[in-house]
């Protein structure tokens, strides 16, 4: 009798040790953090499958015991960081408590909401089509104070920390709050001093960004365009013509392109176009608000194709700069 009892105790002890090992031992044999992704369709069974797919040996007994101990049920969508020393029980507790690991979502300075949705959806659970559908919603735009022409100005390019399972609606609400944070009293005051509203600043900033990727030169370009506006001159910005044509492969704007009848054709219509031609960068926005006070009226890309520009006060100076640039284009066969 004693012998049988000892055997039972030994078996129970071994089972306890094994269960303890399954629950509290390292859940994965990995040397760096692994991320567990659970979408809206995942349940306990799929959690088990996904965890086992990255786990050796498969802790089936520990998983079943752990889910019962933690009373786990339902959906636990999210992105969870499994550290190198994580135990099965700690992972299950993390999932039960929705203790997600956030992702860094980059809002880039792109030309369309379709481009934006594609870039954002790569980092989130949301499908890009779902984001596009929401971003085309008249109801949403009206509620936030925008329309289809001005909506690109709502987004502030930056890196934002958020959860992988964020909904499309909460994503937009978060980005709208970031817009409000960016447009503090100081920036609003500078816009008012220019006689401009937020959309007008964003529109001019988008043109500045499209003219140059060289941030140190952007305040000078902004000053130039403001000079043209004060004088009642057309902006004559090539990027606005390209936007009007919708052909972003154009490398050289020709006279035939300037005939398009569009409010975005700043050769044909004076003043700012009705909205941004891309999501303006922070550097572009601040370049307008803190523009260089200069007398420049003309600019032309440098003939060395460095991405910077030659600036001119008089048309004759501009013509000389333009001839050098056209000569360089022709030599390179750029049409």
Share of the chain above pLDDT 90, in %: 61
Rounded to two decimals, what is the model's pTM? 0.85
Q: Let me know: does 231 contact 322? Beta carbons within 8 Å.
A: no
Q: Average pLDDT of 294-303?
A: 92
pLDDT beyond 80 at 262: yes
pLDDT beyond 70 at 24: no
Least confident of 222-231, 308-317, 326-335: 326-335
Give the C-alpha separation, 242 to 152, whole Å. 17
As a whole number, the mean pLDDT across the chain is 86
Q: Let me know: does 307 contact 230? Beta carbons within 8 Å.
A: no
**What pLDDT shows up at residue 13?**
45
pLDDT beyond 60 at 1: no
Q: Let me know: does 244 contact 262? Beta carbons within 8 Å.
A: yes
Give the C-alpha separation, 219 to 197, whole Å. 18
Q: Which residue has the tokens 């909401």?
A: 113
User: 149 versus 89: which is more confidently predicted?
Assistant: 149
Give the C-alpha separation, 310 to 320, whole Å. 10
User: 14 versus 127: which is more confidently predicted?
Assistant: 127
**What pLDDT shows up at residue 332?**
83
pLDDT beyond 80 at 17: no
Q: Let me know: does 164 contact 124? Beta carbons within 8 Å.
A: yes
Q: What is the pLDDT of residues 71-102, one digit of tens each?
A: 667 678 889 888 887 777 788 888 888 889 99
Q: Let me know: does 185 contact 256? Beta carbons within 8 Å.
A: no
**What pLDDT shows up at residue 11?**
47
Domain ranges of the chain: 20-96, 103-182, 195-296
H/E segment holding residue 56: none
**What pLDDT shows up at residue 36?**
85
Secondary structure of residue 325 in the 3-state scheme? helix
Give the C-alpha separation, 3 to 8, whole Å. 9
For residue 112, the Cα-to-chain-centroid distance in whole angstroms is: 12
**What pLDDT shows up at residue 15?**
44
**What pLDDT shows up at residue 21?**
47
Query: In the numeric block, which tokens belong to residue 283?
Result: 């550097």
**What pLDDT shows up at residue 333?**
80
Q: Give the other-Cβ count within 10 Å of 223's Cβ.
A: 20
Q: Let me know: does 285 contact 205? Beta carbons within 8 Å.
A: yes
Confidence of residue 69 (pLDDT cuts 50, 70, 90): low
Confidence of residue 27 (pLDDT cuts 50, 70, 90): low
Residues 6+ apart with CB under 8 A from 107: 116, 119, 120, 155, 156, 157, 158, 159, 160, 175, 279
**What pLDDT shows up at residue 63?**
67
pLDDT beyond 80 at 50: no
Q: What is the pLDDT of residues 177-224, one digit of tens each?
A: 999 999 999 999 999 999 999 999 999 999 999 999 999 999 999 999
pLDDT beyond 80 at 231: yes
User: 180 versus 66: which is more confidently predicted?
Assistant: 180
Q: Which of 225, 212, 133 is nearest to 172 (CA)?
A: 133
Q: Average pLDDT of 13-30?
A: 52
Query: In the numeric block, which tokens belong to residue 74?
Result: 């339902």
Backbone angles phi, psi at 255, to 5 degrees: -60, -35
């Amino acid at each position: 009798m004693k012998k049988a009892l000892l055997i039972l105790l030994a078996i129970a002890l071994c089972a306890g040790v094994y269960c303890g090992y399954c629950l509290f031992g390292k859940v994965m044999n990995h040397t760096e953090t692994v991320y567990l992704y659970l979408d809206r369709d995942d349940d306990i069974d799929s959690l088990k499958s996904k965890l086992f797919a990255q786990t050796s040996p498969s802790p089936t007994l520990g998983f079943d015991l752990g889910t019962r101990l933690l009373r786990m049920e339902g959906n636990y969508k999210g992105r969870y960081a499994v550290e190198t020393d994580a135990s099965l029980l700690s992972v299950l507790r993390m999932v039960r408590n929705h203790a997600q690991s956030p992702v860094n979502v980059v809002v880039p300075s792109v030309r369309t909401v379709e481009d934006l949705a594609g870039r954002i959806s790569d980092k989130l659970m949301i499908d890009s089509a779902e984001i596009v559908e929401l971003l085309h919603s008249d109801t949403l735009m009206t509620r936030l104070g925008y329309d289809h022409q001005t909506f690109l100005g709502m987004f502030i390019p930056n890196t934002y920390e958020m959860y992988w399972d964020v909904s499309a609606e909460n994503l937009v609400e978060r980005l709208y709050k970031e817009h409000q944070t960016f447009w503090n009293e100081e920036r609003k005051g500078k816009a008012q001093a220019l006689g401009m509203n937020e959309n007008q600043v964003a529109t001019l900033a988008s043109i500045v960004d499209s003219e140059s990727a060289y941030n140190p030169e952007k305040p000078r370009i902004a000053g130039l365009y403001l000079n043209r506006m004060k004088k009642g001159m057309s902006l004559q910005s090539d990027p606005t013509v390209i936007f009007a044509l919708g052909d972003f492969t154009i490398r050289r704007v020709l006279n035939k392109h300037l005939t398009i009848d569009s409010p975005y054709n700043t050769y044909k219509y004076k003043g700012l176009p009705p909205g941004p031609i891309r999501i303006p960068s922070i550097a572009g926005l601040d370049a307008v608000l803190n523009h260089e006070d200069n007398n420049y009226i003309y600019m032309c890309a440098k003939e060395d194709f460095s991405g910077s520009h030659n600036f001119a006060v008089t048309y004759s100076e501009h013509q000389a700069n333009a001839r050098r640039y056209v000569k360089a284009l022709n030599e390179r066969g750029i049409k």
